[in-house]
Amino acid sequence: MNSYSRPRVVFLIPFASRRTKSRWDIACADLRQTLKSVHNSTSESYCVVVAGHEPPDFNIETKAKACFLSVDHDIPRHQNAVVSGRLDKLAKIAAAWNYAKSTWNPHYLMKLDADDLISSRLVQWLENFGREPGYLIKHGWLWQSGTRYLLQFTEYLDRVCASCLIIRSDVADQEGPFLTEVEGIQLNEASLNFAASDHYSLVPGSGTSTLLLNDSHQRYAAQFAYLGHKLSTLPFRAVIYRKGNPDSNSAALETGRPSLRMILGTIRRTKLMTTTLKREFALK
């Protein structure tokens, strides 16, 4: 992609350090598959920045629109390992965004975890229809990593997956009270109780961050509303959320046994992985 071409979207991919991964080979294989899904896009109006302490065991820069950005910040230390991982991820997203906007000035940006997959239709849809300040990806798929034949659909992808938000570049750096205990902010008891009972509103006592640099994805609609913007919903299943990664933050939070109702719901949402779906998400 030459310097005069403004891509429709940049994918910002934070890649965890080798020091925090129990299986580096799996982390690299997952990232390779994520990039394959991006390069499978029907439109080439995109670019990709992977930010990490160490590059993966393959060459990312196979296309001019994809690059690896080396970072050297200290991995954040926090008594909660999940918070440490999130803070490290946000620091890498910040570095990737600074590089992308100075290099390509894209119309939109999307935070994409290094093991999730995107639809081949996503970039083209943004090129054809993308006008709003932001799009929430609520419709998606849940996939147990490595499963060959089955996956589940969901209308609540934003509850479990961080790869669920597309932001227009002119609003990404706008600030508000968006940081909560998810990012390690110390809240008083009243605010903690509020956060536990209301997962969608802004939390009193939150810290200040930009629209981009927080990980409170269930509260994105409230964040956009605070800034005077409407957060629209993408009208198709655009992301596969990979489950079963032992090193992911979400895996660390999965506790308890599912209820009978949850089990029946899982069965109802389970679908065959068709050839068309495999082709759309580069799973073949």
Check: pTM over 0.95? Answer yes or no: no
Closest CA to 9 of 95, 134, 139, 113: 134
**249 within domain boundaries:** yes
Contact 41, 120 (CB under 8 A): yes
DSSP label at residue 133: S
pLDDT at 120: 98
**4 within domain boundaries:** no
| Pairwise CA distance, residues 235 & 139, whole Å | 7
Contact 201, 180 (CB under 8 A): no
- Per DSSP, helices labelled H in the chain are 24-39, 81-103, 122-129, 157-160, 189-197, 220-226, 249-253, 260-269, 275-280
**168 within domain boundaries:** yes
CATH number at residue 257: 3.90.550
Containing domain of residue 260, as a range? 9-280
**3 within domain boundaries:** no
Q: Domains in the chain: how many in total? A: 1
pLDDT at 1: 45
**180 within domain boundaries:** yes
**219 within domain boundaries:** yes
**1 within domain boundaries:** no
**135 within domain boundaries:** yes
In angstroms, the Cα distances linking 71 to 17, 98, 99, 102, 219 are 10, 12, 11, 17, 28
Q: Output the tens digit of pLDDT for each of the chain's 284 residues.
A: 444 479 999 999 999 999 999 999 999 999 999 999 999 999 999 999 999 999 999 999 766 789 999 999 999 888 899 999 999 999 999 999 999 999 999 999 999 999 999 999 999 999 999 999 999 999 999 999 888 899 999 999 999 999 999 999 999 999 999 999 999 999 999 999 999 999 999 999 999 999 999 999 999 999 999 999 999 999 999 999 999 866 655 544 444 576 766 666 676 779 999 999 999 999 97
φ/ψ (deg, to 5) at 107: -70, -40
